[in-house]
Amino acid sequence: MRPPSPVWHPFTQHAVQGEIPTIVRNEGAWLETADGRRIFDAISSWWVVTHGHRHPQIMQAIKTQADLLDQIIFAGFTHPPAEELAQQLVAMTPPELKHVFFSDSGSTSVEVGLKMALGFWLHSGEDRRHILALEGAYHGDTIGGMSVGERGVFNAPYEPLLFDVSRLPFPHRGREQETLQALEKACNEQAIAALIIEPLILGAGGMLIYEPRVLSEMARICQSHGVLLIADEVMTGWGRTGTLFACEQAGVVPDIGCYSKGLTGGSVPLAVTLCRGEIFDAHYSQDRRKTFFHSSSYTANPIACAAALANLKIWQHEPVMQRISDLAAVHAKALDRFRDDRRFCNIRQIGTIAALDLAVTDAGYLADIGPRLYGHFMARGLLVRPLGNTIYLMPPYCSTADEINAVYRAIADIA
β-bridge partners, 53: 28
Q: Which of 266, 275, 277, 308 is nearest to 294 (CA)?
A: 275
CA distance 48 to 7: 22
Q: Around Cβ 395, how many Cβ atoms within 10 Å?
A: 26
Per-residue pLDDT at 1 exceeds 80: no
Q: What is the pLDDT of residues 148-162, one digit of tens each?
A: 999 988 899 999 999
Which 3 state secondary structure label does DSSP give 152?
Answer: coil
CB-side exposure of 95: number of CA atoms within 13 Å?
A: 0
Q: What whole-number percentage of the chain has pLDDT above 70?
A: 100
Per-residue pLDDT at 362 exceeds 90: no
Tell me the pairing of strands 390-393 and 30-33. Answer: unpaired
The pLDDT mean for the chain works out to 96
At 149 the pLDDT is 96
Which DSSP helix (H) or strand (E) runs through 403?
helix 401-412
Q: What is the pLDDT of residues 167-216, one digit of tens each?
A: 999 999 999 999 999 999 999 999 999 999 999 999 999 999 999 999 99
Read off φ and ψ for residue 358, nearest 5 degrees: -75, 125
Q: What whole-number percentage of the chain has pLDDT above 90?
A: 95
CA distance 384 to 18: 16
Tell me the pairing of strands 192-197 and 130-134. Answer: parallel
Q: What is the pLDDT of residues 232-274, one digit of tens each?
A: 999 999 999 999 999 999 999 999 999 999 999 999 999 999 9
At 226 the pLDDT is 98
Angle among Cα 368, 369, 375 to the nearest 5 degrees reads 110
Which DSSP helix (H) or strand (E) runs through 309?
helix 302-317
Q: Which of 324, 354, 373 is nearest to 201 (CA)?
A: 354
Query: Between 401-412 and 320-335, two packed helices, what is the crossing angle to 10 degrees?
Result: 30
pLDDT class of 331 with cuts at 50, 70, 90: very high
Domains of the chain: residue spans and CATH: 14-54+320-412 (3.90.1150.10), 59-317 (3.40.640.10)
Q: Are 219 and 207 in contact (CB under 8 A)?
A: no
Per-residue pLDDT at 166 exceeds 90: yes
Could you tell me the pTM of the whole model? 0.97
